[in-house]
Amino acid sequence: MIIGHSLLNLRDRDMTADGIDGMERFESPGKGRGLRVTRAYRVGELLFVCPAYSHVLSVSERGYTCEHCFARKEGLSKCGKCKKAFYCNVECQRGDWAMHKLECSAMCSFGESWCPSETVRLVARIISRMKVPKERSDSEKLLLLKDLEGNLDKLDNEKREMNEADIAELHHFYSKHLDFPDHQALLTLFAQVHCNGFTVEDEELSHVGSAVFPDVALMNHSCCPNVIVTYRGTSAEVRAVKDISPGMEVYTSYIDLLYPTEDRMERLRDSYYFTCDCKECKTKSKDKVKLKLRKVNGDEPRSEEIREMLRYARNAIEDFRRAKQEKTPAELLEICELSMDKMGSMFEDSNVYMLHMMYQAMGVCMYMEDYDGAVSYGEKVIKPFRQLYPAYSLNVASMYLKLGRLYTVLDRLSAGSAALKKALAIMEVVHGKDHVYVKELQKQISTHQK
């Protein structure tokens, strides 16, 4: 057994001989495999780039973003057959055909009832790509797709049933154009994609699509991460947001870091099956500020009352998430305001559950083109965001960006410039100075100054 195991390791090591400069895969105690650096990296430095092994554009992005290269621009041309996929040009259309053919005629024949989830669409593409025999792609310099962690032994019945439902959906929508591996292999693949899949987001953190980047998925999680992942087209880029010394493990964050320890723990256990032991999870140093309470007549509320309100707040978040699918924007705004009224009797405006609802309300206002309303929520959110998120945060950058763009639309140019510059300072570090988002932002700021 032991001999077999070490032989396997030896072979793995041989296969990764090319690897990635400055990085190595290692066994991270208690965390499975992990990534560590073999030289020093400074804040803002690029550690590595990983092209997507497979990617899929979100249905809501159709017409705005090229299905193949994820460029967002006007004047894309559509597929003549289904009229649902859009491309920069013929090269992108040709490049995408191996993937788009899985869906093109199916979308025509299913019509309105074509509705596979984005995960199912991504898995269909992975299966199709796995058919092309290639030992190791440029996305798998340190970790092969087939070796991704699936945590199969930790799935409960609910998760198993969800995987079965995904498999049924896959068969339903893709059986004409895809040969499926056996059932067990499909269960493994869905479990792997749930643990290792990435959602691709734009500079305002709007959802663009989903993808798998095996080498990026080698990184373990910390709530005090030393790198951030951003996207350039369909590639992922990993940059340092703290100085990293040789031999140190590289950590990214899998989750939104706004929330207090208990909430982060629950999220990590539910989706990734581990208990985080990072410094913030141990010390909970930010929890008190994150849960800032109002004093009534100089007294803090009783602990039972606090627990009750926390339960309400967590349910309100969940209820709102569901309501987004079915309610009108006006109804959504009312839900936000009602829950803020109730929580506001005990929670300060800087409490993360208040911030969560303000953030949602801002999004609804933007959707309704109520820019004054959106600005007023954004202005309440930005200061606590800066305090509660790490120094270099995509959430903070995108909030400055949204605010800057809103001020500009409202002709408040100097406030706009100031906010855009704050976004730029973060984005130059996390996206890199040559990123198209950074270039566009610089242009926007310079037109303000004319």
Ligand X SMILES: C[S@@+](CC[C@H](N)C(=O)[O-])C[C@H]1O[C@@H](n2cnc3c(N)ncnc32)[C@H](O)[C@@H]1O
> By the criterion CB under 6 A, which residues form the site for ligand X?
30-34, 149, 151, 195-196, 217-218, 220-222, 272-274, 276
388 binds Zn ion, rule: CB under 5 A = no
Q: Which of residues 104-133 bind Zn ion (CB under 5 A)?
A: 104
Q: Of Zn ion, ligand X, none, which one sits near residue 240, judging by CB under 5 to 8 A according to partner kind? A: none
Q: Of the listed pieces 135-143, 233-241, 271-279, 439-447, which binds Zn ion according to CB under 5 A? A: 271-279
What does the per-residue mask of binding to Zn ion show for 395-424, with x meaning CB under 5 A?
------------------------------
- Of residues 217 and 427, the one with the C-beta less far from ligand X: 217
Q: Of Zn ion, ligand X, none, which one sits near residue 217, judging by CB under 5 to 8 A according to partner kind? A: ligand X
- Of residues 19 and 373, the one with the C-beta less far from ligand X: 19
Q: Of Zn ion, ligand X, none, which one sits near residue 23, judging by CB under 5 to 8 A according to partner kind? A: none
CB 401 within 8 Å of CB 204: yes
CB of 273 to ligand X, least distance (A): 5
- Of residues 76 and 217, the one with the C-beta less far from ligand X: 217
Q: Of ligand X, Zn ion, none, which one sits near residue 392, judging by CB under 5 to 8 A according to partner kind? A: none
Tokens of 225: 């991460």
Q: Of ligand X, Zn ion, none, which one sits near residue 218, judging by CB under 5 to 8 A according to partner kind? A: ligand X
Query: What is the residue type of 58?
Result: S
- Of residues 31 and 242, the one with the C-beta less far from ligand X: 31
Binding-site member from 23, 47, 50, 66 for Zn ion (CB under 5 A)? 66
- Of residues 274 and 371, the one with the C-beta less far from Zn ion: 274
Could you report how far apart the first and last alpha carbons of the chain are, in Å? 71
CB of 442 to Zn ion, least distance (A): 23
CB of 99 to Zn ion, least distance (A): 11
Quickly count: other Cβ atoms within 10 Å of residue 95's Cβ: 17
CB of 81 to Zn ion, least distance (A): 4
Q: Of Zn ion, ligand X, none, which one sits near residue 92, judging by CB under 5 to 8 A according to partner kind? A: Zn ion
- Of residues 270 and 305, the one with the C-beta less far from ligand X: 270
Binding-site member from 15, 49, 152, 281 for Zn ion (CB under 5 A)? 281
Q: Of ligand X, Zn ion, none, which one sits near residue 187, judging by CB under 5 to 8 A according to partner kind? A: none
CA-CA distance, 436 to 428, in Å (whole number)?
11
- Of residues 85 and 223, the one with the C-beta less far from ligand X: 223
CB of 228 to Zn ion, least distance (A): 16
CB of 54 to ligand X, least distance (A): 16
CB of 39 to ligand X, least distance (A): 22
CA-CA distance, 103 to 170, in Å (whole number)?
12
SS (HEC) of the chain: CHHHHHHHHHHHHHHCCCCCCCEEEEEECCCEEEEEECCCECCCCEEEEEECCEEEECHHHECCECCCCCCECCCCEECCCCCCCEECCHHHHHHHHHHHCCCHHHHHHHHHHCCCCHHHHHHHHHHHHHCCCCCCCCCCCCCCHHHCCCCHHHCCHHHHHHHHHHHHHHHHHHCCCCCCCCHHHHHHHHHHHHHHCEEEECCCCCEEEEEECCCHHHCEECCCCCEEEEEECCEEEEEECCCECCCCECEECCCCCCCCHHHHHHHHHHHHCCCCCCHHHHHCCCHHHHCCECCECCECCCHHHHHHHHHHHHHHHHHHHHHHHHCCHHHHHHHHHHHHHHHHCCECCCCHHHHHHHHHHHHHHHHCCCHHHHHHHHHHHHHHHHHHCCCCCHHHHHHHHHHHHHHHHCCCHHHHHHHHHHHHHHHHHHCCCCCHHHHHHHHHHHHHHC
Binding-site member from 130, 278, 293, 415 for Zn ion (CB under 5 A)? 278
Quickly count: other Cβ atoms within 10 Å of residue 376's Cβ: 15
- Of residues 34 and 209, the one with the C-beta less far from ligand X: 34
Q: Of Zn ion, ligand X, none, which one sits near residue 361, judging by CB under 5 to 8 A according to partner kind? A: none
258 binds Zn ion, rule: CB under 5 A = no
Q: Which residues of this chain interact with Zn ion, rule CB under 5 A? A: 66, 68-69, 71, 79, 81-82, 85, 88, 92, 104, 223, 276, 278, 281
